[in-house]
Every structure is written in C-alpha cells, then in structure tokens.
Structure 1
Amino acid sequence: MFTVPVIDIAPYVDPYGGPAERAEVARLLDIACSEVGFIQVVGHGVSQNTIDGLTDALDAFYELPLETKKHYARPGENRGYSPPKSESLSMSLGVAAANQMNDFYEAFTVGSERGWFAGVDLPVRSYPDNTWPTDAAPRFRTGVEAWFNEARRVSRVLLTAFTDALGLADGYFDGLIDHSIDALKMNNYTLPEGEIEVAGALTGMGAHTDFGILTVLWADRVPGLQVLDGGGVWRDVQPAEGALIVNLGDAMARWTNDRWRSTIHRVDPPVVDGRIIRRRSAAFFFDGNHDAVIETLPGCSRTDRPGYPPITIADNINAKLAGMKSGIAPVGAEREAQRLGVAQAT
C-alpha cells in the first residue's frame, strides 16, 4: 500500500537525541527517500505562531485586487508575483501540457540575495534582490521572513540527517550549501475575480519534480497534492496534523544516482459546484550553492545504472525555470519526463 511515512525528526533538533535515536531517524529517512521520495515530518520545532504569521501574510497579500498584485510581478525572474496561468510546471520536464501556461495557481516568490553573503561574488540571476509589497500588505514581509528562517533551519536539520543516512562524513555538504540558493514560493490556488467559474481544462500545478536538494512544504489540509507512485499511479497526499511535507529534489536524486527519488507530483485542488476550493501552500526550496557540482556521491555508484552527467546547481535550476516560465524544454530531464509519460498513458 502506498503511504507517505510520518517521521519524528526531534532527535536531530536541538536539544539533540542520543546516537541510537539519531541512527533510527536516519534509517527511516533512508527507507522513505528510497521508496517514496516524500516524507511527513513532525518534531520539527516550528511554532504555531510562526505558521499563523505565514497564513496571515498570505491572506493579506492574496486578498488584494489582481491589478494591485500585478505591480509586484517580475516576468522571467524567480522573484515577485506570478499571476494565474502564467506558468506551466510540466514544461520544467520538457512535457507540454494540453494548454501551456495554464496552471491556475498564483504565487509570490522570495529567496536568497547576493547581499546576504559578504565577500562572495555571486551571479544576480541566481541571487536577485527580493520584491516586498510593503505598501499594499504591510504585515506580509514580517510573517514571510519568520517562516523563511524556520524552513531554512528545518532544511539544514534534514540535510544533517541525510548525511548520516547516506553514510557520509559529518559536514560533507557544508561547502556545497554555504551560499545556498534558497527560495520560498507561496502559492494560492484560485482564479481571479470574474473567472471563478471553471471552463475548460485547467491544471492547479502541473506535474513536475522539484529542482534542488529538498523541499519543505506547509500546506492547508485541503485535498489537491498528488504524488506519482512507482507504478505510474497518482496518489493523494494530505498533510497530517502538525506535519510538514518534505520531498527530495533533482539535485539529491542526481547526487545519489537515483538511490533516492525525486518524485513527480502535481496539485489539483477539488472543484465543487463549478468552483475551486481554495488551497494555500508555501514551498521552501533548499537548492544549494549556484556553483556546486552535482555528481555521483561516494557509495552511490551502480554497475547497472550510469551516473548523471555533472551539472552545476545553477545550470540545472535555470534550465528548468526556463521550461516553466518560457516553455523552453530543458536538456537532461529525460528520466523524469519518461516517468511522467508513463503516468499520462495510464
């Protein structure tokens, strides 16, 4: 039976558990990452106040008129506001949707800036400045930054546990994440006023894999998230009470030569009486340094499966963003695209 396991990561959260407790968490994570690629984590230490601050921030911004929100759009960049039907996530795998740029979610993205890393020469394309709707939604930035910092902490906790699960030396990834491209994409599944009645084929968020190391997701406990299982069947996943959903990205799958799974997923919130049930989510993407090279990790080589060709974090992300935002199919996404093709045929 398909399940997304619930794992208590408290032994890796300060105050730390003992070696045996941590080893058991690492063992469970290894199984989940190998078999499913998705995990529900509890014991993460994120307070309800922080989550409430995030949801208040989302409501404050998304309740604004569409024309006001569009003032914060930055077309072609992975920052700022993205209106409904301006992206097609399935094209990040080079798989065209029936109607490109028809994902009906709207989103707001913030992330790492060059100015956060003194003395490091970083490309503006990977580390652009953020846009904040301070005038239109004064409490937005405070709530978002508090959540961003907590999600960033949880992602580093998980990477420590992953290092143990893979049998790597302590601190193995430190030099690959010390100026990580971290991005928070806050999604609102809805349609603008005047277009609420559903007409024709629409996609909440097209089928895709995430691009980086791992994703930490908060979401409303509303149906919509679906995960592609190993047999090519879409499975519904809904957050457990108090849990954060974590999934692996393409960088980790490539590093482990598919020992661990970057699982294809999509979002289609339910439609009732011709209207979409609103669903909010906030996906924190822990992507790694722009110049970190993704190549097979020690202990992950296989005689039956050649490793992926080396690629930098930035090149991998930029190729997939170009697919998502501009419809340009990326090179090197053949394994993921093949799995999605199987699902579309079933």
Structure 2
Amino acid sequence: MASEIPTINFSHFLNGTTEARLLVSKSIVEAFRTYGFVSLTDHQIPLSEISEAFKWTKLFFDLPPETKSLAPHPPGFLIHRGYSHPGLEKVSNLTRGTDTESSLSQTREIPDIKESYEIGSEHYPEQPNVWIPPDVLPGFQEFMTNFYWTLAEFSKEIARALALGIGLEDEDHFEKFFTGHHNQLRLLHYPEVDASVLEEGKGVRVSAHRDWGAFTLLFQDDCGGLEVESPTKPGEFLKVEPNEHACLVNIADLMARWSNDYLRSTSHRVGLPPLQDRYSIEGGKRTTRARYSIPYFVTTTPESVIECLAPFKDDAHPAKYPPITQWEYSKSKSSMQYGQT
C-alpha cells in the first residue's frame, strides 16, 4: 500500500500573504499531527543544488573502502561525525535507561546494510568534523559545508511555520533553540544487495526507528524503499514514492515531546524497492539497486530544555514527559546506536 502523506506547496508560506502563510502552516501541522510527515514542494532549495549534492554523495561512496576510511567515525557514540562502514551503526528505537544491553545485542544480530557520512557545523567544537583529505575529492568539503548552511536556513523557515501552525504568539518562538550549529547532514548509501537477504530477514537497509532530534529534512533518489508506519494501523508500514521535486519532512522525538505527542514522531524504515524494475536479475538472482538519500537532522542547542509547551497541556491533558535537555536525550539514543566503546 502507498502512503497518503500530504503534499504542500511551501512557496505560499515563503512568499504569501499573512492569510496564506497561516493556512499553509496549519496544513503542515495537520499533516504532522496525522502522519508525522509532510512533502513540501516549491521550497527554497534549487533542484540543481540537490542534484549536485547527490552527485558528490555518489562520488564519495564510490571511493575505495580504504580511502573512505581516511575519515573514520570516531570510536563510541559521543562524536557523531565521519564515515561509518556497513554494519557499524545499528538504527533502532532503543533508548538507554529504558531498554537493556541485551535488547541492543539482539537488535544488532540483524545488521543495517548501509554506509554513511556525517557532517556538522565547523563551529561546534564538541562535534568536530572528520573530512577526507582535500586532495582525494577536491571541492567536496566546500560544497557540503555550503549545502549544510543552505539547509539550516530552510529549516528555520519550517520552524517558523510550525510555531505559527500550532498557535504560538511569536512565529520566531523556536529561533533561540535552533542556531543551526547543532544539526547534522548525513549522506547515505545502501549498496546493491541480494534481495533474498532482505526478504529472509538476514539484514535490513534500515530498521524501523524514530528520529530523535526536532525534525528531519529528507531528499531521496528515485530508487524508493522508504516506508512509514500507518497512522491508523500500528505495525503496518506504507510505502513512500520518491519525488525529486519535493523535500520530505518528518517530526522527530523532541518536537513530539514539546507538543505532548500532538505532533507525531512516526517510525519509518527502508525496505525493498517497491517496483520490480528496481531490481537487476542475473543468473536467476535478484539484486536490489543501490539507493542514495540525504537526510538533514535538525535539533536544538545541547542545553535546551525540552518540556511540554503551554498550548498542549491542561488539567485533562498533563505533560506526558518530564523536562529533558537535548544533550541528555541524544546521549540516551546515540549510545544505543553505536555502543559504549
């Protein structure tokens, strides 16, 4: 089954009248309330720049493993930067303090068949970037740094739309929380794999999980495979067809906590491509196409305290979650993805 994630023309927020901006904002919030996802078209990121980002992404992942490993993800979970080889990271919904190490061990028995490269702000010394040497891929660092900040500006417009759509008095309410320096640009490559590996559960591209920042921007290639959990049938996942003209945006855990779950942080995963022509068949073996995607995880400053906003709590609807800082919450999640070592 295909999902029915709403598609909204974001230019009416960026360039519209006061009435049009409010209408778009409320429509986005309703999509997040129902699905946790929205597809934004006519946004401010040029399609040519997105295409170039995918070009650089493919160039990076086409490098030999020993070359990519010149920019290794640091050991442990505290620094989330650099290159992660297939099998290093295991995405899940596990949370330290709630789930156990045995749960993590069981989850890791089925590896994620993907590799990634993480990029952040150059002005966040606690999370230093780990770049490949400039002479290996000239221009890569410069482009990705600029692209990071282009997406940071886009994310601030989405934050304004959220504030307006949920009825906060000031559409810049979230500005002090989102400086742009604590976001994360992720390049993802899902290599070709024998389809039977995924069908038989011997490996997954990405397990079902919720993002744990505030919200996420996602650009996909045309391969497909993204699935989101049904809003009406928990445990059932709906396929999301890629759209090169759209940016998919989803609510993550911190924004859900802020809104007392009024905005949904929805589980999603990457499975088999939805169409048969996205396999290659040779010698009777079906091999999935390689897939590339570029998520941009938007989060607050580490010291930001996330607690239920006033519009979402009253005597009949008390706050579901205690206050927590972004840093505390991110540690509880990242430590279960990379382990303690």
Normalising by structure 2, we get a TM-score of: 0.85
Q: Percent identity?
A: 28
Partner amino acid, structure 2, of 1:265: H
Deviation larger for 171-180 or 284-293: 171-180
**1:24-56: per-residue Cα shift (whole Å, max 9, x none)?**
101101210100000110121211221122112
Structure 1 regions of 5+ residues with no counterpart? 116-122, 329-346
- Tell me if the contact between 1:133 and 1:140 (Cα under 8 Å) persists in the aligned partners: no
Distance in 1 separating the partners of 2:215 and 2:254: 8
Which of 79, 82, 104 aligns to 2:84? It is: 82
Change (3 A) 1:184 1:269: farther
- Tell me if the contact between 1:92 and 1:322 (Cα under 8 Å) persists in the aligned partners: no
Which of 253, 260, 283 aligns to 2:295? It is: 283
Distance in 1 separating the partners of 2:196 and 2:68: 22
Match of 1:106 in 2: 115
Change (3 A) 1:196 1:147: farther
Change (3 A) 1:327 1:245: farther
Which of 252, 257, 270 aligns to 1:249? It is: 252
Deviation for aligned residue 1:70: 1.5
Which of 260, 268, 272 aligns to 2:263? It is: 260
Match of 1:54 in 2: 53
Match of 1:318 in 2: 331
Partner amino acid, structure 1, of 2:211: D
Match of 1:212 in 2: 213
Partner amino acid, structure 2, of 1:288: T
Distance in 2 separating the partners of 1:275 and 1:175: 47
Distance in 1 separating the partners of 2:31 and 2:340: 32
The SS at the match of 1:78 is coil
Normalising by structure 1, we get a TM-score of: 0.84
Match of 1:336 in 2: none
Deviation for aligned residue 1:89: 0.5
Distance in 2 separating the partners of 1:17 and 1:132: 42
Deviation for aligned residue 1:19: 0.8
Match of 1:120 in 2: none
Match of 2:276 in 1: none
Distance in 2 separating the partners of 1:169 and 1:212: 23
Partner amino acid, structure 2, of 1:218: F
- Tell me if the contact between 2:221 and 2:244 (Cα under 8 Å) persists in the aligned partners: no
Which of 236, 239, 246 aligns to 1:236? It is: 239
Distance in 1 separating the partners of 2:48 and 2:94: 34
**1:73-110: per-residue Cα shift (whole Å, max 9, x none)?**
12323100000111110154446455447101100000
The SS at the match of 1:136 is coil
Distance in 1 separating the partners of 2:122 and 2:330: 16
Query: Matched residue pairs, number?
Result: 314
Deviation larger for 90-99 or 249-258: 90-99
Change (3 A) 1:146 1:196: farther
The SS at the match of 2:69 is helix
Partner amino acid, structure 1, of 2:116: A
The SS at the match of 2:177 is helix
Structure 2 regions of 5+ residues with no counterpart? 274-278
Change (3 A) 1:268 1:275: same
